[in-house]
Amino acid sequence: MIKNILTICGFALYALLVLLPAPLRAATTILHHDLQVRLFPGEARLEGRDALRLTVEGKEKVVFRLSPGARVERVVLEGRDIPFEFEQGSLRVSLPVAGGRSQIILRVDYQGRFQDAIPGQPVHSEDPSYGIAGTISPKGAFLSPAAGWYPDLPGGNATFRLRVEAPAGFEGITAGALVAEGRKDGQSYSVWQTARPLSGLTLAAGPYRMERDLYGDIPLLAYFYPENEHLAQTYLAAVKAYLEMYSELFGPYPYEKFAVAENFFPTGYGFPSWTLLGSSVVRLPFIVETSLGHEVAHSWWGNAVKVDYASGNWSEGLTTYVADHLYKERSSPEEALEYRRKILRDYTTLVDDESDFPLSSFTSRDSAASQAVGYGKAAMVFHMLRRLVGEAPYWEGLKRASAERLHQRVGWSELK
Ligand SMILES: [Zn+2]
């Protein structure tokens, strides 16, 4: 059972999934994925074609990562088939490029099955991903970078254009602007384009009804299953209010759109420009009142201003403080005080000498103790900081951090 607002956000975990070890010397880098996938929900399968725009340096052997269960059908370099090896998730290609640094287009045609098991009973888990990296089913599809649903290189940071196709009525949702959508030949399709490079792309799809609204000129989208379609307007109105509040506090909203999507297993993910919330939680009133706002706040803290994990994940503490705690504070000082007391109680009761650790070691929650430290104690640090520097410098500082560090990796020391 999901007991409180802190427990659903699994944002940090998503970020960690894509923190693959970077190669010593990354001569080949992916600048852009022009990706097309067709989903076959009844077969747990997708067919993909990724045209990768690469920067290469001379002749080189490159190893891409793709789901070990995938089958690679063709690799095409500048219009010509080239040999490749695919084994245990490693796609080895020799790039016969002469001369110095240049850009090439390499196309990979592949297909794969994704069927991580979905827990039957949505129970509370310490693992916010429920161990699911990739799954495609008639209920819905969820494909995270960790599933290897498109070819990638370690330490990837690229822009994406994704066209997703699925049987009519099965709609896809991902990061970036929705630039085209419709139905053709019995298929639903949508095309998404990210303006900024991302370290990885997550795709969700399902039998969604989509509703839309606008915040200024920013499209707001809601994807709910038919049973929960009536919630769309409530969510869109709430997102609008959160965007207004946070734009005032932190500066302009840093993405092309904001979308809320329902998921068929109980996630609370905040991705760049969208959030994915489990069916079992979307009906709970506190989700709209707190968790949704928490995910919107991650748009600034954790998504646009990125975390430098080498010095610890500060984003859960800050997001908790400017979302969950701030809502209490705006309701009444007593509620805010009670919220902070709860943080202290959790820390006292859940963390002992064995399980305690410094904030600089926090990456993502994997236990009640790590949550009490990484979310709770870190939120208290931001509270102490605010008391130390005073109201105006505190909020001005956050606004400056967001303006000056947008789309950069930031550690505790830079924040300080
Ligand atoms: Zn969070």
**What are the tens digits of pLDDT across the range 269-323?**
989 999 999 998 899 988 999 899 999 999 999 999 999 999 999 999 999 999 9
For the stretch 224-263, pLDDT in tens is: 999 999 999 999 999 999 999 999 999 999 999 999 999 9
pLDDT of residue 118: 80
pLDDT of residue 125: 52
CA distance 284 to 5: 11
Please give the distance, rounded to the nearest whole angstrom, from the Cα atom of residue 58 to the centre of ligand 1. 42
Please give the distance, rounded to the nearest whole angstrom, from the Cα atom of residue 38 to the centre of ligand 1. 31
Query: Is residue 273 a contact partner of residue 256, using CB atoms and an 8 Å limit?
Result: yes
Taking Cα atoms as reference points, which of 343, 354, 41 lies closest to residue 170? Answer: 41
* Band of residue 135 on the pLDDT scale cut at 50, 70, 90: very high
For the stretch 59-84, pLDDT in tens is: 789 999 999 999 999 999 988 999 99
Please give the distance, rounded to the nearest whole angstrom, from the Cα atom of residue 139 to the centre of ligand 1. 26
pLDDT of residue 2: 30
pLDDT of residue 296: 96
Q: What is the arithmetic mean of pLDDT over 343-353? A: 97
For the stretch 325-343, pLDDT in tens is: 999 999 999 999 999 999 9
Please give the distance, rounded to the nearest whole angstrom, from the Cα atom of residue 9 to the centre of ligand 1. 4
Q: Is 9 exposed, middle or buried (0-12, 13-18, 19+ CB in 10 A)?
A: buried
Q: Which residues are near ligand 1, the ion (C-beta closer than 5 Å)?
A: 9, 11, 316, 319
The answer regarding whether domain 5-115+127-299 maps to CATH 2.40.50.140 reads no
Q: What is the arithmetic mean of pLDDT over 178-191? A: 97
Q: Which residue has the higher pLDDT, 118 or 383?
A: 383
Instruction: Say how many Å lie between the first and final Cα of the chain, rounded.
Output: 37
* Band of residue 4 on the pLDDT scale cut at 50, 70, 90: very low
* Band of residue 26 on the pLDDT scale cut at 50, 70, 90: low
CA distance 42 to 292: 31
* Band of residue 128 on the pLDDT scale cut at 50, 70, 90: low
Q: Which residue has the higher pLDDT, 279 or 34?
A: 34
Buried b (16+ CB within 10 A) or exposed e, 179-188: eeeeeeeebb
Please give the distance, rounded to the nearest whole angstrom, from the Cα atom of residue 364 to the centre of ligand 1. 10
**3-state helix/strand/coil string of 74-139:** EEEECCEECCEEEECCEEEEEECCCCCEEEEEEEEEEEEECECCCCCCCCCCCCCCCCCCEEEECC
Please give the distance, rounded to the nearest whole angstrom, from the Cα atom of residue 325 to the centre of ligand 1. 13
Among 21-35, 70-84, 108-122, 138-152, the minimum mean pLDDT is found in 21-35
For the stretch 99-111, pLDDT in tens is: 777 899 999 999 9
pLDDT of residue 102: 86
358 forms bridges with which residues in the sheet? none
Please give the distance, rounded to the nearest whole angstrom, from the Cα atom of residue 134 to the centre of ligand 1. 21
Please give the distance, rounded to the nearest whole angstrom, from the Cα atom of residue 45 to the centre of ligand 1. 31
Query: Average per-residue pLDDT in the chain?
Result: 91
pLDDT of residue 101: 76
Delimit the domains of the chain by residue range: 5-115+127-299, 307-415
